[in-house]
Amino acid sequence: MDASCITTPFGRRAMTLASLANHKQAEKTAPEVKRNKWKLFRTICEAREDLNVSDRSLTVLDALLSFYPSDELSVSNGLIVFPSNAQLSIRARGMTAATLRRHLAALVDAGLILRKDSPNGKRYARRSRSGDISEAYGFSLAPLLFRAKEIEEIAGQISAERELFHIAREKISLCRREITKLMATAHDTEIEGDWPDLDDRFKSLLVGLPRRPSLEELQSVLLRLTELRMRIVNLLENHYNVQKKCANESQNERHIKDSNTHSLSESETKQEALDAAHLIIPTDLQPLTINQQPTKIPTQPVFSSKPDVHLDTVLRACSEIHPYGPGGSIRTWRDLLIATAVLRPMLQITTSVFREACVVMGPENASAAIACIFEKGENINSAGAYLRNLSRRAAQRQFSIRPMVSALLRSKANAS
């Protein structure tokens, strides 16, 4: 079947230069060009506004494509369809003959189909002896195949613009919501600023937006809303930074005051620990017994104050006391004495009980005992009474700090 044959319109319809140009273009369709007719039709629907065709015209084109025997448009399959008006009306959802003619003419003018009229204006096909169609008269779909790439590009551009349009509308909606809530926050917190002017600008931008805006109009409004939002955000951030700076300055002042108070308290506790470490008693004082209370502060230790255990052993057994040393660590027995003086008020150990322990055990052993008591924590109900009992037992030579430290080390080893 010769799809490139140029025929003039039948009857009173005149031949136009545009129709001649469409015929010449259709002749240039490459034989290897193929398209699925329904995918191509959906692409045409996407680009219908740029192709200048209505939805009713597309209904007629849909009906014409339904008469094409194959799903694939190609030159080798032939590109002429020849339905009667009655059959075409049925597949065009019952469209009247006059409406059909009008929309067929619109498709021709849009350059989507061509007329190939027979000598008598009828649509039909002539078949050979083998049954193949040798000649057909009706409507040529060759322009669809020739313009397929152009139509696909138009549809792709329209789809991209539609996506940009939706994105712009979404961003405008987000900007409106954010500006509204940010301005409400500024109003509630009574932040200084030219808020009435900003509110007027916001409302004028929304009022000036057309009912059916173009992409360019949306992008212009979005740009101005974004600038307005950034200005509001900057005002709120500046207010927050000022408040934060004021709060930090106030906190620094309190920290300086607390540091001075803490330094004074620490100096007092250090002096107290050193005083306890250098207690002396009269040389004629007898050792304390379990039933005997000292009547005055001794002036010389009853027993040797040499530590019964190494400091490292005490620190391994009593890890909880480390943060209470000078600078948060304990390196010497003097550091342990200072940490003990800090803990003593927390454990409700009175000065007299503490001094008695220093006299009986020696300052280092007494500090080690308090470290062990602190390590045991809630297992001891009254730390003061417990230390007093240890002092009495030590006075009778029934207590040594070494087993107490060893027991803590064993419990830690079993726990791990």
382: which 2 tokens?
């009254």
pLDDT mean over 197-226: 89
Long-range own/partner contacts, residues 347-354 (CB < 8 A, 24 or more apart): 347/373, 347/374, 347/383, 347/384, 348/382, 348/383, 348/384, 349/383, 349/384, 349/387, 350/384, 351/272, 353/384, 353/387, 353/388, 353/391, 354/276, 354/387
* Percent share of the chain, pLDDT over 70: 76
Nearest Cα residue to 112 out of 191, 177, 58: 58
Dist. CA 26–CA 6, nearest whole Å: 10
pLDDT for residue 294: 44
Asked whether the predicted pLDDT for residue 302 surpasses 70, the reply is no
Residue 286 has pLDDT above 80, yes or no: no
Q: How confident is the model at residue 413 (pLDDT cuts 50, 70, 90)?
A: confident
- What is the distance between the alpha carbons of residues 361 and 305, in angstroms, rounded to a whole number? 6
Asked whether residue 288 carries a pLDDT value surpassing 80, the answer given is no
Q: DSSP state, 192?
A: -
Residue 291 has a pLDDT of 38
pLDDT tens per residue across span 87-116: 999 999 999 999 999 999 999 888 899 888
The pLDDT score that the predictor gives to residue 289 is: 37
Taking the model in full, what pTM does it have? 0.48
Q: 279, 284, 278, 272: which is closest to 297 by C-alpha?
A: 279
**Residue from 181, 143, 153 nearest 3 by CA:** 143
What b-and-e string marks burial along 160-196, b requiring 16 or more CB atoms within 10 Å of the CB?
Answer: eeeeeeeebeebbeebeeebeebbeebeeeebebeee
String of DSSP letters for 208-275: TS-SS--HHHHHHHHHHHHHHHHHHHHHHHHHHHHHHHHHHHHHHHHHHHHHHHHHHHHHHHHHHHHH
Residue 290 has pLDDT above 50, yes or no: no
- Per-residue pLDDT band for 297 (boundaries 50, 70, 90) equals very low
Q: What is the mean pLDDT of the chain?
A: 79
Helices 363-376, 333-346: axis angle to 10 degrees equals 50
Query: Which tokens in the block code for residue 327?
Result: 């600078």
Pairwise CA distance, residues 367 & 324, whole Å: 13
13 or 57: which carries more pLDDT confidence?
A: 57
- Name the E strands within 28-162: 35-36, 72-73, 80-81, 114-116, 124-127, 133-140
Q: How far apart are CA 47 and CA 68, in angstroms?
A: 22
User: Residue 107 burial (CB < 10 Å; 0-12/13-18/19+)?
Assistant: buried
pLDDT at 179: 92
Count Cβ atoms below 10 Å from residue 389 Cβ, excluding itself: 13
Q: What is the mean pLDDT of residues 337-349?
A: 86
Residue 359, pLDDT > 90, answer no
CA–CA separation, 77 vs 30, rounded Å? 13
- pLDDT of 223 > 90? The answer is yes
39-55: average pLDDT: 93
280 close to 300: Cβ distance less than 8 angstroms: yes
Q: Is 25 helix (H, G, I), strand (E, B) or coil?
A: helix
**Residue 372 binned pLDDT confidence (cut-offs 50, 70, 90):** very high
- The pair of structure tokens assigned to 96 is 């009247």
Helix (H) or strand (E) holding 174: helix 148-188
Residues contacting residue 225 through CB under 8 Å, at least 6 positions apart: 172, 175, 176, 179, 202, 205
Query: Angle at which helices 363-376 and 401-415 pack, to 10 degrees?
Result: 30
Rounded-to-integer distance, Cα 3 and Cα 27, Å: 8
211 pLDDT more than 60:
yes
What is the structure's pLDDT at 27?
Answer: 65
pLDDT band at 58 (very low <50, low <70, confident <90, very high): very high
Domains of the chain with CATH codes: 17-146 (1.10.10.10), 164-250 (no CATH), 311-415 (no CATH)
Gap between the Cα atoms of 158 and 46, Å rounded: 7
